[in-house]
Structure 1
Amino acid sequence: MTSEDLSATQVPASNSLANRYGGQKRAMTRKTKRNIVIAALVLGIAFAAYVATGSAQAPVTFKDIGYSTVDDTQAEVDYQVTKYPGATAKCAIKALDSKFAVVGWKVVEIGPNDPQDDPDGGSTTMQRTALRTESPAVSGVVDNCWIVDSGK
């Protein structure tokens, strides 16, 4: 009793490839393409709204006015901070030596301003910060300023 060799029978090439790799993929329908485009537009609009509202929060800007060296261990930095009058900001101030190495560093908090303090409604204030230095400073600058989250 011999059995018939099934491997010798030829299966059409299209069927054997479909069995091995799966059937032919169906093209996306018009409705599916439209739904993908609508979803992409909604995500784009949501992202644009997120960016727009994030930028609308009260920014803080600063401007270096000058510095002075009191002695070999102290420097003073004069700067101007512009922010929403009711906001609290923090600024990082640094003193530099002749090789631009940081020789003094301090973070100062600038509280809310009274809108009647300045002609611009209290948004701009002049600040002077004294820094302890580890060696003589030849420059003093504001490194960065940011708004402190009032919820914390």
Structure 2
Amino acid sequence: MTESSTTDAESSTELESRYGARRRSASPKSQRWMIIGALILALGAMVYFTVGNAVGQITHNDVGYTIISDTEATVDFEVSKDQDVTVQCMIHVLDNSYAVVGARVITIGPHEGSEPGDRSEYYRTELRTESRGVTGVVDSCWDIE
């Protein structure tokens, strides 16, 4: 053994006794399996959150409105829900200061269909107003069962 290799071995032993032995890194095969496992878990989580959030969820979107007169308006909207669920939605007509000048709760019962695309349907409702409105919106929808 040469003097430099003896010195390297002594310094390595001294460092190990002071700081502990060097960590071994995972083999390339183990790293590959860890990456594959992480990807499978990520894919599973994505499917769970995508499908799990759609089932049983009630959503609504404003489609349009028509101010017919100072005392009447119609609101068009879309509701997405499970086909066998009955929901109620609060519809508002607002004036230019965002005050509610008309309100109505409508009940939407079960409907036909079994495909995921059958969850959404469009509705139109008429509302009486206290004064002239400037917009019509769906405030909220909830399950009544």
TM-score, structure 1 normalization: 0.54
Mark the structure with the bigger radius of gyration.
1
Alignment of 1:76-91 (within 5 A): 76-83=73-80, 86-91=84-89
Residues 22 and 109 of structure 1, relative CA distance in 2, 3 Å threshold: farther
- Residue 69 of structure 1 corresponds to 70
Residue aligning to 1:4 = none
Secondary structure, counterpart of 2:24 in structure 1: coil
Partner of residue 108, structure 1: 105
Q: Structure 2: give runs of 5+ residues left out of the alignment.
A: 1-9, 113-117
Match of 2:94 among 96, 105, 112: 96
Instruction: Compute the displacement of 1:112 (Å).
Output: 1.2
CA distance in structure 2 between the aligned counterparts of 1:114 and 1:50, rounded to whole angstroms:
26
Q: Which moved more, 1:37-46 or 1:138-147?
A: 138-147
Distance across 2 between alignment mates of 1:131 and 1:86: 32
- Whether the 8 Å CA contact 1:94–1:103 is kept in 2: the answer is no
1:139 is aligned to 134
State the number of aligned residues: 125
Runs of 4+ in 1 over 6 A off after TM superposition: none
Q: Which whole-Å deviations, capped at 9, do the CAs of 1:117-151 have from their partners, x for residues lacking one?
A: xxx9x94332123466xxx554232145556385x
Matched with 1:5 is none
User: What is the deviation of 1:33?
Assistant: 1.0
For normalisation by structure 2, the TM-score amounts to 0.56
Q: Is the 8 A contact 1:60 1:81 kept in 2?
A: yes
> What does residue 7 of structure 1 align with?
none
CA RMSD of aligned residues (A): 3.8
